[in-house]
């Protein structure tokens, strides 16, 4: 196989490993690295110092470097790049790597390692990085020979972005970075063993179209795969779904692929999805899943999930198909290609769709929509307490009115679900949230990565007061690089989602979910060199939002919200889609869907 | 629809012979809660670039399909073949079986070994080590018979498997 690769250069012109590394990164199009120096990676930092092509952003914690690279990757569609040192540098990065793995985000993370002759000796700052990160990455490498270095870097980028994207670690012993190494350009030949299928099967596409045309109660359910396939895939899906005239729902990861103000859009589905989206999933007869993975937050109780439907599943990862939910038509391939082929086959198939049945289905959906499951009551009396839903709604309305390009990141918890429900997305790649791993502390560093990639855009981290403290040190990074990220904290002094579960499932025993000694976020922002703002009542909210957005600096807006508010609708763990808890606004309105029962089996689920 | 019955599957995986590849495969099984009933691995081409891993596992059809899909997406994996589903195949392993005893039980052990076509590869006045190659069932049956006759220790290689006929994976 080696003879098919470009020939390495002769010894006399070879450079140090660290320089070869940077050259390969440059060839791969890397413009920004998020990192933190340390002993094992000093040769790389020395090489970075002596060049200008690649910009380095100095974070304050390695986990944040990875989340920042995730934000960069998700908002640009490019591969994010991270550089950390050995030992604790690498172990601190692990949470971010697993986050990227679960949300299919392409990253290359360079980790320092002790020199090859010390590996296995429990040397200072030594960790078995490839061992530790093996289940947290798509793939990882330990470079033990200088002649492998350039090839491994090129291969890592190929693996990170190909097929289902994911994080790749390259572990770099210090002697490899210091010693001479040959350079090699990116290979133009196919990878030896990793060749994911991206082209869908034409016969399966035709069968899918026939099934979709025969549907009486269809639904399209799309996920992060459509986002990863690029903006063109989202646009093509939107055109196709409009042509079909069928309802569509998005997963948390898929928001933005379909314009959320479109009448065919049902909102997000799943545990905190809309009433209509979940009932459509439950009652449909044909389901088209594009690039989503039947996650447990989406399906609820598996044996009651969409019991009467034929299911079509398009996924680039064959292991996602038939993993949780058995499907009738499996299509392996890139979502963008699959959508294009579906559109073609849809036009080519002369069968007419059952318009009367579809009209009846929309009539039923209109009834479900009539429940207005996201309804809430906000007092407008001066001094009135702010509802968290209202805060997000005003944030959305004001950013929309200003018309600036806006990116939203979130931390994890109630605020995240409210953001998904009340902020409306029209474009892909503008919504960054930790879906699979549910990493508190994700939003601030992710926003930092987004702002680096889009210096003129408005980047807002919708946060909770608990999550934000998990990576608050990045305020320092924001101020160093003058990144005007806005942190919009829905402050209820509780770990809200924990409190909500304790209220609903654990008899209201609020064990350790109340934070007794929160910092003064206004002073905290000030201490870091940013701007702090606070709204404690509804009459102050709009002014704070406008001031926050207008500020040229990093801002923390501390929005003090109703402490008792819960996130509804909610499908409790272990319940099916047609058993949702609606908010107190709805009184007995849940009767027709069957009240959700909290079961012992469900209690055991997360 | 797929059968909910738990079945055994012999899966062969052709992998790049590189550091950590076995750990990736084994980690996948432990991390996702799959069973490994037997596992063998060794380089199988001349220049040592590729190794073959044979895994005997068990699960429902859905789980076995999932195992194959998970294996197939590992970067250094060339090919995954389900020999159990793929048609007739042979799956054999070798065992070394030490039996310690004297008198009639020792003589009986030797007679049974002969009947099972086991070879004596070591003998003392108080012990035999038998070598036996065959299906896992046959090895199980023989070791069960040896138990009352002074079975002391068993070392088994795990299963090596190939499809019958001209088929290759």
Q: Answer yes or no: are the C-beta atoms of B23 and A131 closer than 8 Å.
A: yes
Pairwise CB contact (< 8 Å): A193 & B65 = no
Cα–Cα distance for residue pair A334/B70, rounded to 1 Å: 18
A385: closest CA among A564, A601, A579?
A564
pLDDT higher than 70, residue B23:
yes
3-state secondary structure (DSSP) of residue A377: coil
Set of chain B residues whose Cβ sits within 8 Å of the Cβ of A194: 75-76
Of B31, B69, B75, which is closest to A193 when you measure between CB atoms? B75
Q: What are phi and psi of A342, to 5 degrees?
A: -60, -45
Q: Answer yes or no: are the C-beta atoms of B41 and B52 closer than 8 Å.
A: yes
Q: Which residue has the tokens 């199988």?
A: B44
Q: What is the pLDDT of residues A538-585, one digit of tens each?
A: 999 999 999 999 999 999 999 999 999 999 999 998 899 999 999 888
What does each C-alpha distance from A594 to A308, A575, A578, A588, A590 come to in angstroms?
Answer: 18, 11, 7, 10, 6
Pairwise CB contact (< 8 Å): A193 & B27 = no
pLDDT higher than 90, residue B133:
yes
Tokens representing residue A53 in the block: 């092509």
pLDDT higher than 60, residue A508:
yes
Set of chain B residues whose Cβ sits within 8 Å of the Cβ of A138: 75
Alpha helices in B73-103 (DSSP H): none
The residue in chain A having the minimum alpha-carbon distance to the alpha carbon of residue B3 is: A326
ipTM of predicted assembly, 2 dp: 0.92
Pairwise CB contact (< 8 Å): B73 & A164 = yes
Cα–Cα distance for residue pair A271/A296, rounded to 1 Å: 9
Residues 14-33 of B with CB under 8 A from A: 15-16, 19-20, 23-24, 27, 31
Cα–Cα distance for residue pair A173/A190, rounded to 1 Å: 28
Q: Around Cβ A121, how many Cβ atoms within 10 Å?
A: 10
Out of A8-17, A364-373, B22-31, B118-127, least confident range: A8-17
Q: Is B134 at the interface with chain A, CB within 8 A?
A: no
Q: Is B63 at the interface with chain A, CB within 8 A?
A: no
* H or E, element range at A150: helix A149-161
Cα–Cα distance for residue pair B160/B91, rounded to 1 Å: 6
Pairwise CB contact (< 8 Å): B20 & A317 = no
Confidence of residue A399 (pLDDT cuts 50, 70, 90): very high
Q: Answer yes or no: are the C-beta atoms of A220 and A281 closer than 8 Å.
A: no
Confidence of residue A1 (pLDDT cuts 50, 70, 90): very low
A27: closest CA among A181, A175, A178, A188?
A188
* H or E, element range at A25: helix A17-27
Q: Which of A142, A318, A320, A329 to mutate to test the interface with B (most CBs of B within 10 A)?
A: A318
A159: closest CA among A28, A32, A314, A66?
A28
Domains delineated in chain B: 7-82 (3.30.70.260), 90-161 (3.30.70.1150)
pLDDT for res A598: 62
Q: What is the pLDDT of residues A176-192, one digit of tens each?
A: 999 999 999 999 888 99
A204: closest CA among A315, A305, A284?
A315
A336: closest CA among A475, A260, A230?
A230
CA angle A307, A312, A316 (to 5 degrees): 130
CA angle A257, A217, A338 (to 5 degrees): 40
Of B1, B49, B72, which is closest to A318 when you measure between CB atoms? B72
Q: Is B49 at the interface with chain A, CB within 8 A?
A: yes
Q: Answer yes or no: are the C-beta atoms of A151 and A184 closer than 8 Å.
A: yes
Residues 85-124 of B with CB under 8 A from A: none
Q: Answer yes or no: are the C-beta atoms of A525 and A532 closer than 8 Å.
A: yes
- Chain A closest-CA separation from residue B69 CA (Å): 5
Cα–Cα distance for residue pair A509/A499, rounded to 1 Å: 9
Pairwise CB contact (< 8 Å): B62 & A142 = no
pLDDT for res A4: 56
Pairwise CB contact (< 8 Å): A318 & B49 = no
pLDDT for res A602: 67
Q: How many CA atoms lie within 13 A of A367 on its CB side?
A: 10
Quick one: DSSP state of residue B123?
Answer: E
Percent of chain A beyond pLDDT 70? 96
Quick one: DSSP state of residue A2?
Answer: G
Sheet holding A555-560, edge to edge: A431-432, A406-410, A458-464, A486-491, A555-560, A531-535
Cα–Cα distance for residue pair B2/A326, rounded to 1 Å: 8
Set of chain B residues whose Cβ sits within 8 Å of the Cβ of A322: 2, 62, 65-66
- Chain A closest-CA separation from residue B77 CA (Å): 6
pLDDT for res B2: 65
Beta strands B151-156; B89-100: pairing state: antiparallel
Out of A294-308, A573-587, B67-81, least confident range: A573-587
Pairwise CB contact (< 8 Å): A134 & B77 = no
* H or E, element range at A21: helix A17-27
What does each C-alpha distance from B70 to A95, A157, A317, B44 come to in angstroms?
Answer: 22, 21, 9, 22
pLDDT for res A593: 45
What is the distance in angstroms between the CA of the first residue and the CA of the last residue of chain B?
Answer: 26
The residue in chain B having the minimum alpha-carbon distance to the alpha carbon of residue A160 is: B75
- Chain B closest-CA separation from residue A159 CA (Å): 8
Pairwise CB contact (< 8 Å): A139 & B75 = yes
Beta strands A107-113; A80-84: pairing state: parallel
3-state secondary structure (DSSP) of residue A507: coil
Cα–Cα distance for residue pair B145/A497, rounded to 1 Å: 60
What does each C-alpha distance from A222 to A63, A113, A165, A534 come to in angstroms?
Answer: 29, 41, 17, 37
In A374-530, the DSSP E strands lie at 406-410, 431-432, 458-464, 486-491
Q: Which residue has the tokens 């090596």?
A: B160
Alpha helices in A439-581 (DSSP H): 443-453, 474-480, 496-505, 521-528, 538-550
Of B15, B72, B75, which is closest to A159 when you measure between CB atoms? B75
Q: Answer yes or no: are the C-beta atoms of A132 and A95 closer than 8 Å.
A: no
Set of chain A residues whose Cβ sits within 8 Å of the Cβ of B19: 142, 144
- For residues A412-425, give the mean pLDDT: 98
- Chain A closest-CA separation from residue B111 CA (Å): 49
The residue in chain B having the minimum alpha-carbon distance to the alpha carbon of residue A143 is: B19
Cα–Cα distance for residue pair A280/A212, rounded to 1 Å: 15
- For residues A236-262, give the mean pLDDT: 98
Set of chain A residues whose Cβ sits within 8 Å of the Cβ of B2: 322, 326
Cα–Cα distance for residue pair A503/A2, rounded to 1 Å: 62
Cα–Cα distance for residue pair A577/A554, rounded to 1 Å: 41
Set of chain B residues whose Cβ sits within 8 Å of the Cβ of A130: 20
Set of chain A residues whose Cβ sits within 8 Å of the Cβ of B20: 130, 134, 140, 142
State the SS3 of A543-573. HHHHHHHHCCCCEEEEEEECCCCCCCCECCC
Q: Is the dihedral of CA A345, A346, A352, A354 positive or negative?
A: positive
pLDDT for res A594: 47
Pairwise CB contact (< 8 Å): B66 & A135 = no
Q: Is B65 at the interface with chain A, CB within 8 A?
A: yes
Largest CA distance in chain B: 59
Q: How many CB pairs under 8 A join A and B?
A: 50
CA angle A289, A69, A36 (to 5 degrees): 155
Confidence of residue A604 (pLDDT cuts 50, 70, 90): confident
Q: Which of B75, B76, B78, B169 to mutate to test the interface with A (most CBs of A within 10 A)?
A: B75
pLDDT for res A42: 98
Of A164, A192, A326, which is closest to B2 when you measure between CB atoms? A326
Pairwise CB contact (< 8 Å): B65 & A322 = yes
- Chain A closest-CA separation from residue B102 CA (Å): 48
A431: closest CA among A401, A399, A475?
A399
Tokens representing residue B47 in the block: 């220049």
Set of chain A residues whose Cβ sits within 8 Å of the Cβ of B1: 326
Q: Is B69 at the interface with chain A, CB within 8 A?
A: yes
Q: Answer yes or no: are the C-beta atoms of A17 and A178 closer than 8 Å.
A: yes
Tokens representing residue B3 in the block: 């059968």
Strand partners, B10: B56
- Chain B closest-CA separation from residue A477 CA (Å): 35
- For residues B81-109, give the mean pLDDT: 96
Q: Which residue has the tokens 């986050």?
A: A99
The residue in chain A having the minimum alpha-carbon distance to the alpha carbon of residue B69 is: A319
Which positions of A are annotated as active-site residues?
62, 124-125, 174, 497
pLDDT higher than 90, residue A349:
yes
Q: What is the pLDDT of residues A274-292, one digit of tens each?
A: 999 999 999 999 999 999 9
Set of chain A residues whose Cβ sits within 8 Å of the Cβ of B16: 192-193
Q: What is the pLDDT of residues A53-70, one digit of tens each?
A: 999 999 999 999 999 999
- Chain B closest-CA separation from residue A72 CA (Å): 25
pLDDT for res A157: 98
Q: B57's torsion region: left (phi>0), alpha (psi -120 to 50) or beta?
A: beta
- For residues A344-359, give the mean pLDDT: 97
Tokens representing residue A426 in the block: 């029209």
pLDDT for res A603: 67
* H or E, element range at A311: strand A310-315
* H or E, element range at A336: helix A335-348
Q: Which residue has the tokens 């305020």?
A: A475
Tokens representing residue A223 in the block: 């996920």
* H or E, element range at A99: helix A88-102
- The average confidence (pLDDT) of chain A is 95
Pairwise CB contact (< 8 Å): A322 & B72 = no
- Chain B closest-CA separation from residue A319 CA (Å): 5
Confidence of residue A599 (pLDDT cuts 50, 70, 90): low
- For residues A85-109, give the mean pLDDT: 98
Strand partners, A82: A34, A109
């Amino acid at each position: 196989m080696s003879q098919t690769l470009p020939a390495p250069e002769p010894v006399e012109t070879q450079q140090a490993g660290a320089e070869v590394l940077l050259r390969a990164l440059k060839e791969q199009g890397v413009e920004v690295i998020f990192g933190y120096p340390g002993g094992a990676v000093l040769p790389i930092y020395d090489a970075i110092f002596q060049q200008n092509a690649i910009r380095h952003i100095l974070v304050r914690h390695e986990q944040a470097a990875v989340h920042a690279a995730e934000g960069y990757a998700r908002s640009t569609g490019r591969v994010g790049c991270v550089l950390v040192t050995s030992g604790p540098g690498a172990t601190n990065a692990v949470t971010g790597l697993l986050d990227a793995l679960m949300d299919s985000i392409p990253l290359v993370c360079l980790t320092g390692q002790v020199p090859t002759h010390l590996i296995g000796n429990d040397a200072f700052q030594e960790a078995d990085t490839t061992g530790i990160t093996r289940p947290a990455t798509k793939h990882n490498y330990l470079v033990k020979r200088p002649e492998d270095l350039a090839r491994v870097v090129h291969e890592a980028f190929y693996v990170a972005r190909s097929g289902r994207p994911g994080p790749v670690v390259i572990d770099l012993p210090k002697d490899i970075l210091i010693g001479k190494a040959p350079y090699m350009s990116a290979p133009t030949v196919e990878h030896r063993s990793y060749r994911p299928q991206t082209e869908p099967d034409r016969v399966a596409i035709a069968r899918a179209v026939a099934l979709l045309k025969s549907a009486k109660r269809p639904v399209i359910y799309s996920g992060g795969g459509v986002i990863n396939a690029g903006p063109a895939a989202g646009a093509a899906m939107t055109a196709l779904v409009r042509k079909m005239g069928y309802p569509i729902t998005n997963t948390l990861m898929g928001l933005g692929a379909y314009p959320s103000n479109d009448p065919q859009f049902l909102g997000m589905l799943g545990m905190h999805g809309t009433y209509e989206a979940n009932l459509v999933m439950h009652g449909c007869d044909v389901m088209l899943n594009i690039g989503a993975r039947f996650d447990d937050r989406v399906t609820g109780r598996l044996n009651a999930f969409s019991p009467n439907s034929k299911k079509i599943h398009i996924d680039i990862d064959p292991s996602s198909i038939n993993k949780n939910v058995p499907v009738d038509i499996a299509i392996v391939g890139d979502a963008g290609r699959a959508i294009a082929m579906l559109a073609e086959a849809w036009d080519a198939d002369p069968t007419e769709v059952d318009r009367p049945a579809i009209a009846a289905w929309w009539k039923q959906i209109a009834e479900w929509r009539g429940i207005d499951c996201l309804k809430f009551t906000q007092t407008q009396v001066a001094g009135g307490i702010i509802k968290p839903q209202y805060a997000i709604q005003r944030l959305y309305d004001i950013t929309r009115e200003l018309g600036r390009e806006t990116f939203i990141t979130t931390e994890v918890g109630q605020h995240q679900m409210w953001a998904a429900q009340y902020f409306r997305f029209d474009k892909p790649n503008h919504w960054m949230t930790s879906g699979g791993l549910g990493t508190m502390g994700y939003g601030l560093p992710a926003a930092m990565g987004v702002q680096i990639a889009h210096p003129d855009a408005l980047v807002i981290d919708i946060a909770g007061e608990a999550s934000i403290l998990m990576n608050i040190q990045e305020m320092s990074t924001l101020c160093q690089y003058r990144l005007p990220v806005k942190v919009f904290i829905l402050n209820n002094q509780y770990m809200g989602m924990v409190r909500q579960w304790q209220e609903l499932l654990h008899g209201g025993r609020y064990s350790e979910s109340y934070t007794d000694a929160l910092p003064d976020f206004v002073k905290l922002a000030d201490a870091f060199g940013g701007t702090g703002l606070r709204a404690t009542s509804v009459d102050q909210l709009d002014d704070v939002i406008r001031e926050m957005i207008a500020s040229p600096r990093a801002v923390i807006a501390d929005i003090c919200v109703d402490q008792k508010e819960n996130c509804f609708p909610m499908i409790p763990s272990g319940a099916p889609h047609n058993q949702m808890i609606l908010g107190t606004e709805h009184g007995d309105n849940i009767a027709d869907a069957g009240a959700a029962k909290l079961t012992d089996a469900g209690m055991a689920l997360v | 629809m797929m059968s909910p019955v738990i079945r055994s599957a012999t899966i062969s995986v052709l992998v790049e012979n590189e550091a950590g590849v076995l750990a990736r495969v084994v980690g996948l099984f432990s991390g996702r809660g799959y069973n490994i009933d037997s596992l063998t691995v060794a380089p199988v081409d001349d220049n040592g670039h590729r190794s073959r891993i044979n895994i005997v596992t068990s699960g429902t059809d859905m789980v076995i399909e999932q195992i194959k899909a998970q294996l197939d997406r590992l970067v250094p994996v060339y090919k995954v073949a389900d020999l159990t589903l793929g048609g007739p195949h042979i799956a054999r392993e070798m065992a070394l079986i030490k039996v310690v005893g004297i008198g009639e039980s020792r003589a009986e052990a030797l007679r049974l070994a002969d009947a099972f076509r086991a070879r004596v590869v070591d003998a003392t006045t108080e012990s035999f080590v038998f070598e036996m190659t065959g299906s896992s069932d046959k090895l199980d049956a023989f070791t069960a018979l040896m138990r009352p006759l002074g079975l002391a220790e068993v070392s088994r290689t795990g299963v090596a498997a190939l499809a019958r006929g001209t088929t290759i994976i």
